[in-house]
Every structure is written in C-alpha cells, then in structure tokens.
C-alpha cells in the first residue's frame, strides 16, 4: 500500500506535502462569506483522514463579484485563515487559498452589474458591464492584496482561479472577450490579464511562497480550447510566475463536464485536463472524476500530473484514505456522483452544501460519526423496512450499541434503489445500499428478509423502539398534482405500468411506442424513458411541469439526459401537458394552457407520479394505543421524497435512540 505513487510526498516551491492527494476547492457556503466553525470542522475531518493538500473554496477578491463562499476583500479574512490553519496543521494537511473573481457570472455586492472583459451575457443571462482599464487595475491590485492576507493568515500557498469560465478565463476566451484594446484580439493580448494578476501576486507574496493556477477549457464549440490553455500554462511557467498547475475541464457552458455525475465514467475528464497538466514544467494537479485510491493508482505515472484531485468521494467519506491504507476499502462510504446534496444543496433552499449519503457533512462538530457513542442503556430496536431509510437507521442504531432486529419484506435489501439502479446511466446509485448492507452485516445486525410484518409481530418482538421504514408504492390512479380533479381515464388497462415494473418486462412485449408521464420532475421518469428508447420504442414524454425534469437541473443531470434521449431516437417532449385518457394503442393529452387535445401513439404507458406511503403497519399500531412501542416513521413511509431525505431521517432515528 505504501508504494502507491499517490501516497508519495511532493514538494512545491520548497513546501513539502505528505502525499499527492489533493482536495480541489469546492463551494460549501457554510459561512456565507466567512470562515466559520462549521467550515473549519469540515476541513479538519478531511485532514484527519490523511489528505495531503486541500484548497479552500473560492475567495472573492473584490466586492464587484459577490458569492457566499469566502470574502477576502478586507483584512477580516486573516483571522479566519489563522483559525483554519491552526486547526488543520496538527494533522499534517496543507491548506491553500483560492483567489477568485467571477466576472459576468455574479453581480456586485451592492447589486450593480457584474464586471467582465466585454458586455457578453453569462450562461445564466446576466449582462455585465465591460471593464475599463481602471477597473482592470483595481482587480489586479485586489488579487495582490488578497494574496498578502492569505499569507498573513498562515495559508501554505495560493491558487489563482484562472479556469471554469471565471474572469481570467473570460479575458482569455474569444467567446467572452470582444475587446479591441491591448486586452483583446490576439492571444498575447487576451492572456495579458492572467499575466498581470500572476505578476502582482508573485510580487506581493515573494518568490518563496507557493503560487499556482487552476485552469480549464470551456468545453464549448468555438470557446476556449485545451490548446490555448496549454499556451497560457507554458507562458506562465516560462516567466517563472507559477509553482504549480491545477488542470480541470469545463465551464458554465458545460457544467456536467465540470461537475460530472454518475452519467459519466470515472476518469472522464482526463482527455481534457491531462494535456493541460502535461504542458506544465512545474508540479501539477489533475482532475478526472476519480472515485478512490484504486481508481487513481495509475494517474501520477501516466503523464497527467504529480498530484491527483479527489473531492466528492471525500465529501462522502472523510476517512477514504485511512480506510484504504488499513485494508478496509470495502468500508468506504461511496460517493454516488448524484450531485443532489453537494451541488444542488447550494442552489436549494438549504443554501449550503449537503451530501446525499453522509448526514454529517457541514455538521462535523456535532454529527461526525466519530462522535457516535454507545447508548447508556442500549434499547432493543426493531427496524421494519429494507430500503435506504431503514438500512441507515439499523446501521446507526448498531453503532449506538442497540440490540437490533432488521426486517424487510422483500427478498433483498435496498428497496426502490434496486429498481433505480437498473435504469441506464444510474447503476452507481446502488453503491450506497450495497455499502449499507455490508455494514449492517459487519455490525452484527439480525436481518430477516422476505418477512411481512404486522402489529402482532411487533408485539411479539417487544422492541423498546420501533423504526418504521416501510417505504411507498406507485399510485396508479392517474391523478396529476397539477390537476387533481381531472385524473386520466383508462389507467386500469393492461398496458399501463409503473416504473417499478418496466425493467422486468420482456422487450418483445413493449410494442413500438410508449408514453411516459412525469408528474415529479425527478430522475425516475428519465430512467424509464431511456430504457424504452434503448429498446427501440418511439417515446412521448408528457409532463405538466414547465421544463424537462426540473428537479434534476441543479444536480446537472437533466440537460445531458435530454441530449441522450433526443440523439438518434424517436423522442418527443410535451411540457405543460396532462394525460387525459388512455386507450388501446394511443393516449389523449391536453395542453394545460388552452386545454387543446392531441392524440399520440402509445402501445405502452408508464405513470411516474407521487407515490403512496405504506402506512398499514403504522395504522395498526396506532390503533393499539399505549400497547404499541415507541415508534419513529422515516423516509417514504412518512411521506414520499428522495434519497437524501431518506438517509438523513434514517440516520437521525438510529442516532437518537435511548
């Protein structure tokens, strides 16, 4: 194990880093501009896990680019840096700051328009003001001053964010730089802003302090290319301005390339990030969508970089490195690359990074699993339900030392995840329930599958605490959330199916056409549609929602899925439509705005709508009154929702037993 290249030390401008595992900068928004205790605890947990280098999330250098990660535009940041570095240093992890300006992506702190090289709208539609030369000078100076505060705060190095379509990248890209002065036009002019920032920062912190860049192509036709990134890297290296290069890929024109999900294979970024890293004459870091140490074992030796970025997998499990080195790789809680907690959490009402599979993220000071202790008087816990909420409840109750019994009605654990993992591009979601199952058995939980539980069975077992995680089932009544008083007719016909059934059907029986009704906007209907188009059916996708799978927009999965569905397939999308009637071989759908009717062919109809909670056991026990044990209802048994909520509720139910 110790001979893995990624575990060998590396030196960057005199700074020794104990191994070649880097955690790339990523937004958490825990502190909404400040370095708070939650952010420090988050990094300490990863430092304890053996990381060599972590780069703090973007620090905005000037109020003209307002984002709720970290603000480094005044000297109040110095104290935050000091508290962070003091906390992680005893564990041997190095910390770099990441200095940043978002350009046309983010407005100013006072709400005025964003600053950018040219008045080119951002991918989000905001139109910036074209920067004057005076404003360019202000931002160059702001980078330098922020660099001084970073060094004063004890940060070990500085990464200048020149990639992902932010301000320096906008200057370099012909797509966003339409200037006619000495900052626009030929490459030598477009790279000038990067050079001036790098020179100013180097002059501010001195020759002995590690300074480097993060850089990426735009992954956009006609946009900033890998070749131009290579030119910029060589130029900055030749001038001696940088000590390392952190190579990535993608921009906000191609978010899935920048934040790849389970739809994409591991190492999928390397064809773009690799050549950028290979152009450097200084130590490099490279992003690739790596899942763990085994996945990156060859990376430092195949010409793509000296260090390897490992981010979301160590959000999911801070102990990834230590568990691997202990020969317990099968105990690593897997990242399922869903983006529903990390990326979407920031964009959700929670407005902070979460993790679908790890309840403790951002709350390590109170909910880190290292803090779980056995209950003073461990109760007998009975968990009914073998889906994620129940599995997590049983696992955590076992960590608390409970005498426990786990009962699932189905032949195998996993619940609806076993079905979801059969959808195209969704297999990785099953990794989390496979891990839970291994942990449950490792912890000695008594498991009974293929066992239907009624109230009398609970009374016989006489648990101190009953956790009900019986899940939910598809509702097949044709009711739309948008028009509950006008359910579709014909739902009892034999060719009408649920998403639970569709993957078990013989492809020869599916017919030539299908209608998929999506009343949820999640991934469930996407998986069904991809399965059907893959079987050769012409698919009409009907949804009363305003857009295709809107709940998958923030996780960055809807656009890629729609592209796959439309490419080479007979696929038709009808937004703001409801299913009115199902007939033999066809369906009638209605436009929600004008109620205009349209008939479409459909040999097969699949209804994806809100499920019904399985509440029979709960109702039976409530009827018993005081005879019933203490009962906690979690996951879909309480109300049908998603995987993140199910795992969260299961975790807390198991954690709080007494």
Using DSSP's 3-state secondary structure scheme, residue 369 falls into helix
| Cβ contact 600:522 at 8 Å | no
User: Buried b / exposed e across 128-167, counting CB within 10 Å, b at 16+?
Assistant: bbebeeeebeebbbbbbbbbebbbebebbbbbbbbbbbbb
Is 42 annotated as catalytic? no
What is the radius of gyration, based on Cα positions, of the chain? 27
| Cβ contact 391:412 at 8 Å | no
Give residues with Cβ within 8 angstroms of 355, minimum separation 6: 315, 316, 341, 342, 345, 361
Calpha distance 655→21 (Å, rounded): 32
For the chain, helix (H) and strand (E) counts, in that order, are 23, 28
| Cβ contact 544:610 at 8 Å | no
Q: What angle do CA 34, 37, 42 make, to 5 degrees?
A: 100
Q: What angle do CA 117, 121, 122 make, to 5 degrees?
A: 90
User: Token pair of 480, please?
Assistant: 């739309």
Closest CA to 355 of 319, 389, 314: 314
Using DSSP's 3-state secondary structure scheme, residue 623 falls into coil
List % helix, strand, coil for the chain (3-state, nearest 5).
35, 20, 45
Q: What angle do CA 252, 421, 312 make, to 5 degrees?
A: 40
| Cβ contact 320:281 at 8 Å | no
DSSP class per residue in 496-519: EEEHHHHTTS-GGGS-SEEEEEES
Using DSSP's 3-state secondary structure scheme, residue 488 falls into coil
Closest CA to 17 of 47, 50, 53: 53
- Counting Cα atoms < 13 Å in the Cβ hemisphere of 146 gives 29
User: Token pair of 91, please?
Assistant: 């564990």
Calpha distance 263→554 (Å, rounded): 15
| Cβ contact 10:53 at 8 Å | no
H-helix or E-strand spanning residue 363: none
**Residue tagged active-site, from 166, 253, 523, 541:** 166
Calpha distance 444→399 (Å, rounded): 10
Calpha distance 594→656 (Å, rounded): 52
The catalytic residue positions are 166
């Amino acid at each position: 194990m110790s001979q893995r290249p990624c575990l060998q030390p590396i030196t960057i401008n005199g700074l020794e880093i104990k191994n070649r595992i880097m955690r790339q900068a990523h937004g958490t928004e825990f502190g909404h501009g400040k370095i708070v205790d939650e952010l420090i605890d988050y990094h300490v947990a990863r430092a304890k896990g053996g990381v060599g280098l972590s780069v703090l999330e973007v620090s905005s250098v000037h109020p003209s680019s307002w984002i709720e990660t970290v603000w480094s535009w005044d000297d109040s940041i110095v104290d935050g840096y000091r508290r962070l570095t003091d906390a992680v240093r005893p564990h041997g992890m190095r910390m770099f700051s990441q200095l940043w300006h978002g350009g046309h992506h983010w407005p100013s702190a006072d709400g005025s328009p964003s600053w950018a090289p040219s008045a080119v709208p951002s991918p989000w539609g905001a139109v910036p003001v074209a920067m004057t030369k005076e404003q360019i000078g202000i931002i160059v100076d702001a980078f330098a001053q922020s660099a001084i505060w970073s060094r004063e705060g004890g940060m070990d190095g500085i990464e200048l964010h020149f990639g992902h379509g932010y301000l320096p990248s906008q200057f370099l890209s012909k797509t966003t730089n339409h200037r006619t002065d000495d900052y626009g036009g030929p490459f030598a002019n477009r790279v000038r802003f990067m050079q001036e920032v790098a020179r100013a920062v180097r002059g501010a912190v001195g020759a002995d302090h590690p300074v480097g860049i993060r850089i990426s192509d735009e992954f956009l036709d006609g946009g900033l290319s890998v070749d131009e990134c290579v030119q910029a890297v060589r130029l900055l290296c030749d001038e001696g301005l940088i000590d390392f290069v952190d190579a990535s890929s993608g921009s906000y024109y191609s978010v899935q390339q920048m934040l790849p999900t389970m739809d994409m294979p591991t190492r999928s970024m390397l064809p773009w990030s690799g050549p950028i890293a290979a152009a450097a004459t200084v130590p490099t870091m490279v992003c690739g969508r790596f899942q763990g140490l085994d996945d990156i074992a060859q990376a430092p030796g195949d010409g793509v970089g000296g260090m390897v970025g490992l981010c979301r997998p160590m959000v999911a499990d801070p102990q990834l490195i230590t568990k691997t080195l202990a020969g317990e790789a099968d105990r690593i809680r897997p990242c399922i690359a869903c983006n529903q907690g990390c990326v979407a959490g920031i964009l959700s009402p929670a407005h902070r990074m979460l993790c679908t599979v790890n309840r403790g993220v951002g709350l390590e000071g109170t909910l880190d699993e290292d803090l779980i202790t056995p209950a003073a008087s461990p109760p007998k816990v009975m968990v009914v339900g073998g889906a994620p909420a129940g599995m997590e409840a049983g696992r955590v109750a076992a960590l608390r030392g409970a005498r426990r019994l786990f009962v699932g009605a189905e032949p195998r654990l996993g619940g609806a995840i076993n079905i979801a993992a059969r959808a195209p591009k969704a297999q990785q979601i099953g990794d989390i329930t496979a891990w839970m199952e291994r942990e449950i058995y490792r912890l000695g939980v008594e498991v009974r599958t293929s066992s239907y539980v009624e109230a009398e069975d609970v009374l016989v077992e006489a648990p101190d605490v009953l956790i009900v995680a019986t899940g939910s089932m598809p509702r097949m009544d044709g009711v739309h959330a948008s028009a509950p008083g006008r359910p579709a007719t014909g739902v009892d016909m034999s060719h009408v199916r649920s998403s639970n059934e569709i993957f078990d059907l013989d492809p020869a029986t599916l017919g030539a056409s299908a209608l998929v009704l999506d009343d949820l906007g999640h991934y469930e209907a996407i998986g069904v549609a991809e399965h059907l188009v893959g079987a050769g059916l012409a698919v009409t996708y009907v949804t009363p929602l305003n857009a295709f799978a809107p709940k998958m927009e923030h996780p960055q999965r809807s656009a890629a899925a729609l592209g796959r569905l439309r490419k080479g397939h007979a696929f038709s999308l009808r937004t703001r439509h409801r299913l009115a009637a199902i007939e033999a071989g066809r369906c009638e759908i209605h436009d929600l705005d004008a109620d205009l009717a349209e008939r479409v062919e459909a040999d097969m109809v699949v209804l994806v709508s809100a499920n019904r909670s399985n509440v029979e056991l709960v109702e039976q026990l409530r009827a018993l009154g005081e005879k019933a044990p203490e009962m906690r209802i979690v996951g879909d048994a309480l109300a049908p929702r998603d995987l993140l909520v199910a795992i969260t509720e299961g975790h807390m139910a198991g954690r709080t037993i007494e």
